[in-house]
Chains A and B, each alone.
Chain A
Amino acid sequence: MNAAWLPLTTLAVSLVAAGVIFLLPEDARRLRTSINLLAAVSKIILVTLMVGRVSQGFEDTFSFQIVGGVEFVLRADALGVMFAGLSSLLWLCTTIYAIGYLEGAANRKRFFGFFSLCVASTLGIALAGNLFTFLIFYEMLTLSTYPLVVHSGTAKALAAGRVYLRYTLTGGVVLLLGVVLLYSLTGDHSFASERGLSPYLNDHRGLLTLIFALLVGGLAVKAAMVPLHGWLPRAMVAPAPVSALLHAVAVVKAGAFGILRVIYDLYGIELSVALGVTTVLAIAASITIIYGSLRAIAQQELKPRLAFSTISQVSYVILGVSLFGPFGTIGALAHLLHQGLMKVTLFFCAGNYAEELGIHRIDEMDGAGKRMPLTSLAFTVGALGMIGLPPIAGFITKWYLGVGAIQAQRYWVVAVLVASSTLNAIYFLPVLHRLWFREGPAHGKGEWPNEQCLGRMETHGWLLWPAVFTAVVSLGAGLLAGLPFSPLDWATRVAVGEYLP
């Protein structure tokens, strides 16, 4: 039984929400908030339904024809549902956070409208059943995030928006070229087909490699792999919820997820290895990991440091994929979720510091743990998870990646992992040290840059609880990794599906 309505409705929820929000007047604040939350909650319910369906072995598919030989396909498969689950969960958190964050700010209608569009695109990317559909939502994501990046309308934001477009649109064009080449070689190729592209290997080896390079090159722009990462740190001028959602989930993960799709569901892992592209990818990912970490150390402000950390962390996913073996795959897939949770926590906290205390630079954070204990605890959980300390989620993925590297007999990858963890510690531990062990304004030394006292607790509740929630989930994902439907369990299910068809 095929429930075609399920993926379609899930996608439509945020599209409709976006439409309604655009129709509402700017000052209909309550109604807009209700619609936002209602859409986010119903989306989680729908995605949960989909998870249930997929675990029962169904793959609900919705499709219609666009032109001859090209179909629009939405399919709920294990990998897609995983990403959909992540984005819908974090959408709820970020929506709550954004409502609190933008309290009283201008242009909220535009913000939430495009925010919903952006999530709809992410969901479309997750559920896309072939490369054409993927491309549609991938470009939609580019367009719908631009207004969010330039939201504040300052010269700096506008310049960042321009750089963002330059990178992503060029990436999109390269991707388009790759997709067109592939379609003219093989025709419409569903992600669900088991064959992979291996029948074409003998005759079209060079072309396949070229197409792979184009596809992954186009996707790597959004995944912010070095040297295509330049837009990400600049895009940090966007409001904190945008940084949180875009840079933890939507944009960078869309790129990484696309690379996963290309390798697992389009080329097939054996073919990718046979073409020799995985080694190149592993090297590129390693360079990105180390380079991102090194640059992060050099940042004096909190958000850019987190941005470079994102650049570094997202490439773990790519690294895991390019290790040929089940453990690497599990590590990569689990990291897609874990990194999203932890990074969103960190960005929420950074936003809280900026809103409540006016803190933007790291050297202003002295003693903030006393003033904002819950936020700082959440930040600590996120940061330690990023370093890879047990029992937080980040440890699980690093462990699996390490095992995968050893199984694949690529010992230099282990060295990269160790080096990267060390670098993570170098740029996160001083922050934690400042938070908890230095004396600052909370102890009567100096003043906060711009203290606001937004709520009865340490800050506005709408800002605080999402951060605490995601921190708890990151902790839970690590502690309870063995339970069914944990990120690790689901990643294992996907990996098993890939390796044992």
Chain B
Amino acid sequence: MIWRFGLYESTFEPQWYSHWALLAILVLPIFIGLLGAFFTPRRLFPVALACLPILLAGALLIVDYLQVGLLRWQWDIAGVELSLRFNGLSGLMLMITQWVGTAAAMYTPGHLQLTNPGKHARWLWPLMGVLISALSLIWLAVDLLTLYAALELMGLAAVGMLLLSGKPDALKAGMRYLLLALVGSLAYLLGVALLLGYWGELDLKSLVEVVEPSPVSWVAAALIGAGLALKAALFPLHGWLTPVHENAWTPVSALHAALVIKASLFMLIMLWGILLPDALFAPRLVAWLGMLAIVWGGLIAWRAESLKTLVASSTVGQLGYLMVAFPLLLGSAVSPLPGALAWEGFWLQLMGHSLAKAAMFMAVGNLIIATGESSIKGLAGTSRRLPLSLLIFGIASVTLMGLPPSAGFTAKWLLLQAMVMTQQWVAVAALLIGTLLTAAYVFRVFRYSFDETAPRHQYQPLAPGMDLIALCLALAAFALGLLAHLPLALLQGGGA
């Protein structure tokens, strides 16, 4: 757990350009977001151009990591030591964040033009920037307080983005989300206070050394776990997720499902790895809940009437796959090979889901804009007029179903192998049933869309690039599945 999250001293100093790259990934998104609020871009191209330096900075960091191994920065600000680190996992998460973020940003101008968003829409840009910066900080932070600050910033930005549309439903969902996010933060903060009071450490690296199994660490882990699970919408704390996605703008939904909830999950795994190094019960509990999540999310999505509910509930089920892997990630009882397989499968699944879910939200958003209907039944007959949007939906859902040649499949393969090796047959069954349930709700969409007897509607044409961006995301999930060893090599690198 210590080396997996890069909680050790680095061997070499980062190259000079890495400092600038670090600054760029943390500050540039906010800065460019503010610019966006002033200039309100109406085309895709300037957005892409503006995102380029951020992507470049992220790539530079990865290049540096490949050369010198773990990157570590330390500052002494007014007697408080602040440090950041960049390891392979941070690199992967940062890459996903930046690319999905860029895709969502490029999608936004077209979406705003076609949906008559209201006068506050320009503030979407800075909020998006804050969100990306906060996420980047979460992947890099190594102390509980920075993590908390970044988490809070991210949550507030997400709520802000939701409230922008100004619709009463969105306000209601947003306030509820805000309230729950605050409760989650509070639980997290209580846990942190407990740790600070007992061991007097906030830095994760020092915490690893002093923490020992005791009621204090258990209670703290429980508090932190509950808070983060609430924010990550882990079953059964997922109730707020569907209303949020139901009312959010498409790029906001895409960012939220792809990245925001993943950040809490990332922190959960990292902190539990530190606080509960030998845990047996807690990961099992999560795994059992995960199995329920797969079935429950699948069933809800299957029964869903509205497209967005379907996609949102599918997130609940997909998070279940990640939860089921918990016993293989945490605890010292896991033998090395299945542990490593599950570790790779977990992150691959997470990344694949991010790409595919963002693509799916965009495809669904396009379908809703084009048809003017948000229910699944309203799709009847769309296969003739909107084949591309449906195709994107299909490609994205291949990843969600975990069928080849997608990242979802490769991840499922790795997880299944790990579970077979450790003889967790119930988990195996849950994963396989998940595939079938996902297929059931995904193909429901196709069943309606292939209906040729439906009356013809007027379709609103889409802005240029809206389909293309989604297609690229969906295909990226395929590429990730076929070339999985390349990103996964980053996870293994730096394994001191």
Contacts and interface: CB of A to CB of B under 8 A. Distances in A.
A58 interface: no
A67 B344 contact: yes
A153 B409 CA distance: 29
Interface in B416-453: 416-417, 420-421, 428, 432, 435-436, 439, 443, 446-447, 450-453
Contact of A154 (B452, B483, B484): B452
A183 interface: yes
A283 interface: no
A176 B413 CA distance: 9
Interface in A141-167: 142-143, 146-147, 150, 152-155, 157-158, 161-162, 165
A154 B391 CA distance: 20
B432 A67 contact: no
Given A66-B410, A67-B414, A169-B435, A146 B446 contact: yes
Interface string B378-391: 00000110010001
B488 interface: yes
A176 B452 contact: no
A189 to B, nearest CB: 14
B interface: dominant SS: helix
A181 B419 CA distance: 10
B485 interface: yes
A172 interface: yes
B446 A173 contact: no
Nearest to B432: A173
Given A67-B410, A143-B398, A180-B417, A107 B482 contact: no
Given A67-B488, A153-B453, A173 B436 contact: yes
Contacts of A107: 383-384
Contacts of B110: none
A110 B420 CA distance: 39
A67 B383 contact: no
A172 B403 contact: yes
Contacts of A154: 452-453
Interface in A61-90: 65-68, 70, 72
B436 A169 contact: yes
A136 B404 contact: yes
A132 B413 CA distance: 10
B482 to A, nearest CB: 6
Contacts of B41: none
B387 A110 contact: yes
A19 B481 CA distance: 19
B482 A66 contact: yes
A468 B17 CA distance: 70
A153 B484 contact: no
A150 B410 contact: no
B453 A183 contact: no
B413 A65 contact: no
Contacts of B403: 139-140, 142-143, 172
B486 to A, nearest CB: 9
Interface in B87-123: none
Contacts of B372: none
Contact of B413 (A152, A153, A158, A180): A180
Contacts of A72: 482
A161 B421 CA distance: 36
Nearest to A168: B439
A70 B435 CA distance: 21
Contacts of B488: 67-68
Given A22-B391, A67-B488, A110-B387, A135 B446 contact: no
Given A109-B387, A135-B404, A169 B439 contact: yes
A155 B439 CA distance: 19
A170 interface: yes
B485 A67 contact: yes
A150 B114 CA distance: 32
Nearest to A183: B417
A4 interface: no
A106 B384 CA distance: 8
A68 B485 contact: yes
A308 B160 CA distance: 61
15 contacts: A65-B485, A67-B414, A68-B485, A107-B383, A135-B404, A143-B398, A153-B383, A153-B451, A169-B435, A169-B436, A169-B439, A172-B403, A177-B416, A180-B413, A184-B417
Please provide the 4 A-B residue pairs with the shortest distance between their CB atoms, ordered closest to farther.
A153-B452, A136-B404, A180-B416, A184-B420
Interface of A: 22, 65-68, 70, 72, 106-107, 109-110, 132, 135-137, 139-140, 142-143, 146-147, 150, 152-155, 157-158, 161-162, 165, 169-170, 172-173, 176-177, 180-181, 183-184
Interface of B: 344, 383-384, 387, 391, 394, 398, 403-405, 409-410, 413-414, 416-417, 420-421, 428, 432, 435-436, 439, 443, 446-447, 450-453, 481-485, 488
Given A110-B383, A146-B446, 11 more contacts: A68-B344, A107-B383, A110-B387, A136-B409, A150-B446, A150-B447, A158-B450, A165-B439, A173-B435, A180-B420, A184-B421
